[in-house]
Structure 1
Amino acid sequence: MAGEVLVVGDVAADVRAAVTGVVTALEDAFNRKDAAALGAQFGERASWTNARGLRLDGRAAIAEFSRPAMESFLRDSYARYEVVKLLAIAEDVVAVNVAQTPTDASGTPVEGPHGAALYVVARQADGWRIVAGQNNAVDAPSAG
């Protein structure tokens, strides 16, 4: 994750690091095709809508869906996740805008659908976790 992050509201440095760490761990889990590690980034009662518009409720459902998806249609998909904005919503709750760039397995950008995700990350009993979010497929940004 590189580039300037827009921070709106009071997001302390330690919170910023924790929230960014969740995004980094999610990216790593996706690229390793590790559904359990991916699911662990979500809260127990999280609500997630994937890029195909399917809503999944709960950490277990997210991991359960992800396992076969990563073994089939996402098997050869990799991405770089870049935090572009942090918005303080309430104490211990931050909205995170993430730009997703398709890559090959080595991390080199490739042609393909990009993503724009919104994660709501909150401090939970077991650490910072995504409690709600949506992933959207978007056209690649223009080069001009």
Structure 2
Amino acid sequence: MATNSELLDAVPADVAAAVRDVVRGLQDAFNAKDARALGDCYARNATWTNAMGRRVTGREEIAETARKVFPALPDQPVRYDVVRMFTIRPDVIAVNVVQVPVSPAGDPVEGAKGAPLYVVSREDDGWKIIAGMNGFVTDPAAA
């Protein structure tokens, strides 16, 4: 069985860096509560399912949903840690992430953790999330 590092190493370094940039952009947009920047991380025809099972489709709908939801979210920054990525095909990468609540200095704090799966693909306008789903981490050992 492959180890985490072997699974990460199976993705070419330049592709892994591009995918990490997408995840970092999503993290930064989420923490800034910038719906437009968050939407820009997604492909035009992307689909996203949140932790409550609500599905939205398309970059514009994803951004509009974020715009509506951001004011209700706590002012709690999070860090998105890539824990696994693997190649589906050379231009499509699956990425497991753990969302960790952090202090303003970036240190982990108590709070709910998310466990999204993103499918990132090379689109005409760069690497973008084409599909994703979030869930909650209920077993701390799984994070």
Query: Fold-level match, TM-score > 0.5?
Result: yes
Structural mapping, 1:9-24, within 5 Å: 10-24=10-24
1:6–1:84 Cα contact (<8 Å) kept? no
Sequence identity percentage = 50
Which residue identity lines up with residue 54 of structure 2 in the other structure?
A: L
User: 1:129 is matched with which residue?
Assistant: 128
Which position in structure 1 is the counterpart of 2:79?
Answer: 80
Does 1:68 pair with 2:68?
A: yes
The separation in 2 between residues aligned to 1:55 and 1:30, in whole angstroms, is 18
- Residue aligned with 1:115, SS: coil
Contact 1:6 1:86 in 2 (8 A): no
1:107 match: 106
Partner amino acid for 2:88? Answer: I
Q: Provide, for residues 71-104 of structure 1, a one-character-per-residue CA deviation record: whole Å limited to 9, x for no partner.
A: 12x1413211000111100120000000111123
Q: CA deviation at 1:113?
A: 0.9
Distance in structure 1 (CA, Å) of the matches to 2:137 and 2:6: 20
Give the structure with the higher percent strand: 1
What are the Cα deviations for residues 106-128 of structure 1, in whole angstroms up to 9, with x where unaligned? Answer: 42322211011100000000000
Gapped regions of structure 2 (runs ≥ 5):
none
* Superposed CA RMSD: 1.7
Aligned to 1:57: 57
Relative to structure 1, is the Cα distance of residues 141 and 27 closer, same or farther in structure 2, using a 3 angstrom cutoff? Answer: same
Q: From the two aligned structures, give the one with the greater helix fraction.
A: 2
Partner of 1:41: 41
For residues 109 and 9 of structure 1, the distance between their equivalents in structure 2, rounded to whole angstroms, comes to 26
TM-score (norm 2): 0.89
Q: Is the 8 A contact 1:6 1:85 kept in 2?
A: no
Q: How far apart are the structure 2 equivalents of 1:16 and 1:112?
A: 28
Q: Distance in 2 between matches of 1:31 and 1:88?
A: 28
- The residue that corresponds to 1:141 in the other structure is 140
The residue that corresponds to 1:92 in the other structure is 91
The amino acid across from 2:113 in the alignment is H
